[in-house]
Amino acid sequence: MSDKFVSVRTDLALEAREYYTEKNKTDVPGIKVNEFRDGKVWVSRVEVVNDEGERIIGKPKGTYVTLEFPEFVHYDGESIDEVSKSVAKELSPLVKLQDSMTALVVGLGNWNITPDAVGPKVVSKIMVTRHLKEYVPDSIDEGVRPVCAIAPGVLGITGMETGEIIRGIVEKIKPNLVICIDALASRKTQRVNRTIQIGNTGISPGAGIGNKRMELSEKTLGVPVLAIGIPTVVDAGTLANDTIDLVIDELTKQATTGGPFYKMLMDLDRNEKQRLIQEVLDPDLGSLVVTPKDIDKVIESVSRIIANGINIALQPALTLDDINKYLN
């Protein structure tokens, strides 16, 4: 990673790229970005195209699509459906399956901890059809694709590495595609619970809470892996660091140019400041993360958005109304 790039607590490729450009006042080499609006959703497509881009932002080469939507979406049923369709629109080109091919949906995370429960919540809303296609094929439309799903839990609950469980399932049922859903961490509070990232490079379970486990990717599982994540937490150290940066920037504006106080502010080593904040926080707070107070309501709505998006992308022969009738 570039010596100009300070590691920040984020799982979003968009934010890693933003942080580099803010600090270095230049675009990231080896990164292509395309941004546009789709209804209520702002879409940013970040492509890491070479080794230099991968090294600088710390993300594997591939495509990362970020969808950002307004906070009110969580409280409006029509808006939830609209954002779901935007998710499906970005996910569908990555789902390279024929009708007879099987997709495995994996909900990562701990269902007992609300900010980490988005994966299992999504799985509970997936249109599961593999068993019907296998045992009662005449009772289901020919255009319906076989889909299976699992929420494997976490090491502390099962005593097994999530990667080991998923690898065993993949070896047994031989899906043609794996879609993983997990909670992530953002470095900006305004993106928490309002941003969805879709990537085609796989995922490390537990990344959002700083507890990375075995990577789930085409390299480890032998089949293509798509990762869908939503930041549900923000790191306390990042919050403190950004707050201090805002204070320093404001003091710099107010200080007399060329004066000793102005010179002191300009000479501050912001890399050293971030390390100091972490050293102060770690003994008492450890790797503290923060989540909004309405997390229960929000996780329910965002899991519906992601599940509907996946269902539409995996079942192109059906409408969202057809899917909802099946689930209900």
User: Domain tally for the chain?
Assistant: 2
Strands 195-199 and 62-68: antiparallel
In this predicted model, what pLDDT tens digit does every residue of 51-110 receive, in sequence order? Answer: 999 998 889 999 999 999 999 899 999 999 999 999 999 999 999 998 889 999 999 999
pLDDT more than 70, % of the chain: 86
Are residue 164 and residue 226 in the same domain, yes or no? Answer: yes
Closest C-alpha to 81, from 300, 304, 240, 284: 304
- Bigger pLDDT: 315 or 247? 315
Label residue 294 by pLDDT band (50, 70, 90): confident
Mean pLDDT of the chain: 86
- Asked whether residue 275 is assigned to any structural domain, the reply reads yes
Are residue 268 and residue 180 in the same domain, yes or no? Answer: no
Are residue 116 and residue 186 in the same domain, yes or no? Answer: yes
In whole angstroms, give the CA distance from residue 47 to residue 291: 29
User: What is the pLDDT, as a whole number, of residue 132?
Assistant: 87
In this predicted model, what pLDDT tens digit does every residue of 145-154 receive, in sequence order? Answer: 999 999 999 8
> Containing domain of residue 273, as a range?
238-285
CATH classification of the domain holding 215? 3.40.50.1450
Q: For the residues 125-133, what does the mean pLDDT come to?
A: 92
- Asked whether residue 210 is assigned to any structural domain, the reply reads yes
Are residue 183 and residue 280 in the same domain, yes or no? Answer: no
CA distance readout (Å), 129 to 80, 135, 147, 173, 284:
24, 10, 5, 14, 48
pTM as predicted: 0.84
- Asked whether residue 4 is assigned to any structural domain, the reply reads no
- Asked whether residue 33 is assigned to any structural domain, the reply reads yes
Are residue 70 and residue 186 in the same domain, yes or no? Answer: yes
